[in-house]
Amino acid sequence: MMVALKGKASIRSITKENAASGSHIEPSATWDVCGGANVQFCSVDHGENYVMFGGKGIEVSLWDITSCSKTWSAKSPRTNSLGIFTRPWFTAGTFLCKDDHRKIVACTNSHQVRLYDTALQRRPAISVEFKESPIKAVAADPNGHDVYIGTGTGDLASFDMRTGKLLGCYFGKCSGSIRSIVRHPDLPLIASCGLDSYLRIWDTNTRQLLSAVFLKQHLTTVVLDSHFSVEEPGEMKSKQLESSVETETEVRKEKKKKSKAITEDETEAQIRKEKKSRTIEEEEQAGLVDHSDINDEVYARKEKKKKKSRGIEGGKERDSDGEICSPKRRKSGERSKCLKKRSKKQLVA
């Protein structure tokens, strides 16, 4: 599906089997979406049966791809309180549900998010305003009722289109206009890009920025491939086998290392035990020698004490009253006041 700025649309179908060779390509069908206006966005539904157009100076319209005919178009808004008619200017749009092409979400340059139900009416069922900058990108959630919008000043937010309630804004404002938002079909992730040259990945549950990559140029569109794989299945299998073999060898090496470490620990323990036994024997031998020396010293000290005691007893003399007096006091000419020994043992000595 291709559409020019002036409203020239064309479609061509290519079979998937012969996409590389270029054969069996059906001729393209072209038609005019509008005349004298600028087409700002184009969105195809999940079943690839309907396409939606919108832009500056034209209302949102729904077209049947097979017949290249218009099936529905929005009605121009009413004039305001001053009687001034605002010209339509749609900047982004998407289908709200995968299974239902009748519910359409369109965003305007006047910071409005509108929900259209093509089966009920031509005017918007819900219209919500968000801040004061034009809304440049919109993406639908797989649950069928939430949408993610990005503004020209770098704000990113989510809305519940059943009630028009703002669910929350995402943390980490972008420094440039957001031009494309994509929701991952399985994981709770969204990707956004814009004129600040950054590709950002966000978590839809916590609304936190997970990753940001600088790509050196202005970005206008981002696409997610949920079935992406760098390697082919055969290469994957061979690499899996190689990885399994490597893991087995690593496990064996680790076992060998552990056994070696255990044997080394056992040998070290044995060496330590032998050293301890040797030191104990040496200490015991040294202790025997020391004890003999100590006994000799104690015996010599006892003998000295005995000699001293014998010398003192020989030097002492008895008085006429049978009292023991020291010879020094007798030399001084004074009669000493000696203590009487009442114990029989001392008197016998």
CA–CA separation, 52 and 99 (whole Å)? 15
Instruction: Report the chain's mean pLDDT, rounded to a whole number.
Output: 80
298: pLDDT confidence band, cut at 50, 70 and 90? low
Q: The whole model's pTM is what?
A: 0.63
Higher pLDDT residue, 115 or 5? 115
The rounded distance, in Å, linking the Cα atoms of 52 and 316 is 141
DSSP class per residue in 105-153: EEEETTSEEEEEETTT-SS-SEEEE-TTS-EEEEEE-TTSSEEEEEETT
Nearest in space to 136 (alpha carbons), one of 108, 158, 157: 108
Take residue 120 and report the two structure tokens written for it: 């009920």
| pLDDT tens-digit series, residues 125-135 | 999 999 999 99
Rounded to 5 degrees, φ, ψ at 89 are -150, 95
Per-residue pLDDT for 32 more than 90? no
If you classify domain 2-226 with CATH, what class do you get?
A: mainly beta
The mean per-residue pLDDT over the stretch 294-298 comes to 60
Reported as a single tens digit per residue, the pLDDT across 64-90 is: 988 889 999 998 877 777 888 888 899
Ranking 30-39, 68-77, 192-201, 206-215 by mean pLDDT, the lowest is 30-39
Domain ranges of the chain: 2-226, 229-261, 316-349
pLDDT band at 235 (very low <50, low <70, confident <90, very high): low
